[in-house]
């Protein structure tokens, strides 16, 4: 009889602990904000940026955008990274992607990550296999990224738009 009592006691105790853990887990999950794949969300402020990317070759994979707010970090350490699926692709254009950001000066980099591996793929000669781009359609020079100034644009309070093209080799 003592073994039966102990079994029931431990079963009830285990059930109570599980229910408490489940309730805590549910509460924690309920208040967590949505976070896009491999990135931190941009803080919600009073500016919207609608990004339109043209010349996208395929609907496979995702577009990866790097946001930079300082020339010191450009193009190596983005302020924020965002991943956009190509589900809204029409023809060769991915558009109407809206991002809440703080007003200021930014530069964008883009990777058309067709195999969704999170990095630029290169040929054996060192040429990019996947598309890339920079805001203001800035072009790289002698295998070097354009500078922050040539890629930078101003985001003002309210709705802002930027359009740029994917470049391929």
Query: What pLDDT, on a 0 to 100 scale, did the predictor assign at position 97?
Result: 61
Query: What pLDDT, on a 0 to 100 scale, did the predictor assign at position 116?
Result: 95
Half-sphere exposure of 30 (CA within 13 A, CB side): 6
Residue whose token pair is 């193009």: 75
Query: What pLDDT, on a 0 to 100 scale, did the predictor assign at position 64?
Result: 94
Report whether 110 contacts 166 (CB < 8 A): yes
Nearest to 152 by CA among 76, 94, 67: 67
Query: What pLDDT, on a 0 to 100 scale, did the predictor assign at position 33?
Result: 37
The β-bridge partners of 128 are: 122
Q: Which parts of the chain register pLDDT below 70? A: 1-45, 96-98
CATH among 3.30.465, 1.10.3470, 2.60.40, 3.30.420 for 47-165: 2.60.40
Backbone φ and ψ of 116, nearest 5°:
55, 35
Query: What pLDDT, on a 0 to 100 scale, did the predictor assign at position 141?
Result: 85
Query: What pLDDT, on a 0 to 100 scale, did the predictor assign at position 91?
Result: 95
Residue spans of the domains in the chain: they are 1-32, 47-165
pTM over 0.85: no
């Amino acid at each position: 009889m003592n073994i039966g009592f102990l079994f029931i006691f431990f079963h009830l105790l285990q059930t109570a602990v599980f229910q408490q853990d489940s309730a805590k887990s549910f509460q924690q999950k309920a208040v967590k904000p949505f976070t896009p794949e491999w990135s931190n969300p941009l803080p919600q402020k009073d500016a919207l940026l609608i990004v339109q990317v043209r010349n996208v070759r395929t609907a496979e994979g995702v577009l990866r955008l790097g946001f930079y707010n300082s020339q010191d970090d450009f193009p190596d350490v983005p302020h924020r990274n965002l991943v956009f699926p190509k589900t809204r692709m029409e023809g060769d254009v991915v558009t109407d992607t809206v991002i809440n950001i703080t007003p200021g000066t930014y530069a964008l980099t883009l990777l058309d990550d067709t195999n969704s591996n999170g990095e630029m793929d290169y040929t054996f000669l060192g040429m990019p296999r996947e598309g890339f781009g920079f805001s203001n359609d800035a072009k790289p020079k002698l295998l070097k990224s354009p500078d922050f100034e040539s890629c930078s644009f101003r985001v003002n309070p309210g709705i802002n738009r930027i359009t740029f093209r994917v470049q391929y080799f």
